[in-house]
Amino acid sequence: MRFGINSFLFVSPFTTQSTRLFSKFKKWGFDTVELPIEAPEHIDSLKVKAGLDRAGLACGSVCACMGPGRDFRGSAKDQREAMKYCKALIDHMVNLDCPSLIGPVYSVVGKADAVEPKDQKKEFALVVKNLKVLAKYAEDRGKVICVEPLNRFETDFLNTCEKGLRLIKAVGSPALKLHLDTFHMNIEEKNQAKAIRAAGKHLGHFHACGSDRGTPGNDHIEWKPIVAALKSVKYKGDVVIESFTTDVKVIARAAAIWRKMEPTREEIATKGLKFLKKVFK
């Protein structure tokens, strides 16, 4: 099991020049970096890979940023744009030697409304149709897509592990797995450990975030049952800190971070990593 850090804690957008952060991440003790790529043209993935190699880090995952115009349940144009964008990310992953595309790889973030049951079925069918194509593209390149349930305020499409498993079953591809996040589960799941056990072999990626999206361990989440559940399902993937602060204004606004929750973002990274290493032993 490796411990990673999402670069959104320090920069948005991530560009080729952002590789200057890698030596700091390595010094703090991280094994991997999670890269949110907001637009494919923001990076030269071969140069980013060289930066990772110099720092002695791996790119554990690329995070899909499903912004406006990228929606697998949206208009025909939005579906095409989402497919073009996600395929471009997978192409970058080949250069980065990165195994997983993670995040809400199904719909634009922030699309949250009361959808009639008949329309829910239509939207679900659209996402399944598109993910079958994208999963085949990933599988042919030896990559995996891990879809992430978000909380109800960020999407109305996929909120729970249970629905995520339904989506995986409907797509029916070995290249599609589940991505769980303690922040979102803290809102949507009755029991986080139970959800992890339900995910079982389908769990492909994991975010360890404080209940307030701050430092893991400096919150009210019961971490010991979560760790026990991850071990019980023999989870071997990355455990990544994905926390946000007011320092990165674009992300703070998108994630509704209106106040300083921790003294510094460096403290979120270093104290969070120290806690995770301790609790995972």
Condensed to tens digits (0 to 9), the pLDDT of residues 173-225 reads 999 999 999 999 999 999 999 999 999 999 999 999 999 999 999 999 999 99
Q: Which residues of the chain have pLDDT under 50?
A: none
**Per-domain boundaries in the chain:** 2-280
Q: What is the pLDDT of residue 255?
A: 76
Query: Smallest Cα–Cα separation from 96: which of 36, 32, 52?
Result: 52
Residue pointed to by tokens 């320092």 = 247
With a CB cutoff of 8 Å and minimum separation 6, the contacts of 30 are 3, 4, 5, 57, 269, 273
Q: What is the pLDDT of residue 259?
A: 80
Asked: is 2-280 a CATH 3.20.20.150 domain? The reply is yes
Q: What is the pLDDT of residue 127?
A: 98
Q: What angle do helix axes 223-232 and 265-280 make, rounded to 10 degrees?
A: 60
**Could you say which DSSP state residue 144 is in?**
E
Q: State the Cα–Cα distance between residues 12 and 239, nearest whole angstrom.
A: 21
**Could you say which DSSP state residue 152 is in?**
T
Neighbours of 104 (CB within 10 A): 24
CB 128 within 8 A of CB 89: no
Q: What is the pLDDT of residue 250?
A: 76
Q: What is the pLDDT of residue 252?
A: 67
Q: Identify the three-state secondary structure at position 82.
A: helix
Per the structure block, which two tokens stand in for 59?
């790119």
Residue pointed to by tokens 């395929």 = 87
Residue pointed to by tokens 């952002």 = 18
**Could you say which DSSP state residue 160 is in?**
S
Q: State the Cα–Cα distance between residues 262 and 277, nearest whole angstrom.
A: 20
